Amino acid sequence: MLTYSEENYLKTIYHLSLFQKKGVATNAIAAKIETKASSVTDMIKKLNDKKLIEYQKYQGVTLTEQGLMAAKMIVRKHRLWEVFLVEKLDFSWDEVHDVAEELEHIKSEKLINKLDAYLGFPTEDPHGDPIPNAKGEIKTVNKLLLSDVKKNIVCICVGVKDSSSSFLQYLDKQNMSLGSEIEILDIEVFDQSYRVKINGVTMTISKKIASNLFVKTTE
């Protein structure tokens, strides 16, 4: 049985490992969790003793097969609860993260499997992130950042890199959401801002916005 803190560390290591080919640095874990490096060191020892991670000096932390599965199940619970909160309780997509952070620690596997079935076995959460199934399998989605798309290419918004409330609220104000059709009309040389057409409406967005929207092309 894992503690809340142990589950949070496993989930953090899992998320960080998605963007790194080698092991995850302890400093990166400390920065993500907003804690002291000494606290990370203590937790790494505990997780290593439980054979959930492996740690080698100068090479960082990697999840064992057991640790990876445990992390995926935490992510699975979090994202299923986000779907439930949005679809069944009418939460907005910028409100669900903090609530799901609490609900993800519920231990009942039976409850989560029934929740999955009740929701129709969704493969993505409200932010476009993939939901692991009960076996830990994850559907692969070919996506790229809007900032990597060339001009005059029509694409569909399939997710966000930044899931902070402030960013999601900004997207709401611009009537941008998952499924929105986006076409890059021009890129300004001066400030690298983007002139785009979103759902038929022409507007300007910053490079920072374009760098936080995941899309797939329609071609």
pLDDT at 129: 93
Q: Return the pLDDT at 47.
A: 97
Residue 177 has a pLDDT of 94
The pLDDT of residue 54 is: 95
Tens of pLDDT, residue by residue over 108-159, are 999 999 999 999 999 999 999 999 999 999 988 789 999 999 999 999 999 9
Q: In this structure, is the dihedral angle defined by the CA atoms of residues 171, 175, 181 and 182, taken in order, positive or negative?
A: negative
CA–CA gap between residue 193 and residue 7 (Å, rounded) = 40
> Which strands make up the sheet holding 154-160, listed edge to edge?
144-145, 213-217, 154-160, 181-187, 194-198, 201-205
Q: Which of 85, 73, 189 is nearest to 132 (CA)?
A: 73
Phi, psi of 87 (to 5 degrees): -80, -35
Fold of domain 76-140: Arc Repressor Mutant, subunit A (1.10.10)
Topology given in CATH for the domain delimited by 144-217 = SH3 type barrels. (2.30.30)
128: left (phi over 0), alpha (psi -120 to 50) or beta: left
Confidence of residue 219 (pLDDT cuts 50, 70, 90): low
pLDDT at 56: 87
What does the pLDDT average to over 189-210?
95
Average pLDDT over residues 76-101: 96
Question: What is the reported pTM?
Answer: 0.88
CATH architecture of the domain 4-63 equals Orthogonal Bundle (1.10)
Q: Give pLDDT tens digits for 39-56.
A: 999 999 999 999 999 998
Q: Could you give the residue range(s) of every CATH 2.30.30.90 domain in the chain?
A: 144-217
- The predicted model gives 74-82 an average pLDDT of 97
Residue range(s) occupied by CATH 1.10.10.10 in the chain: 4-63, 76-140
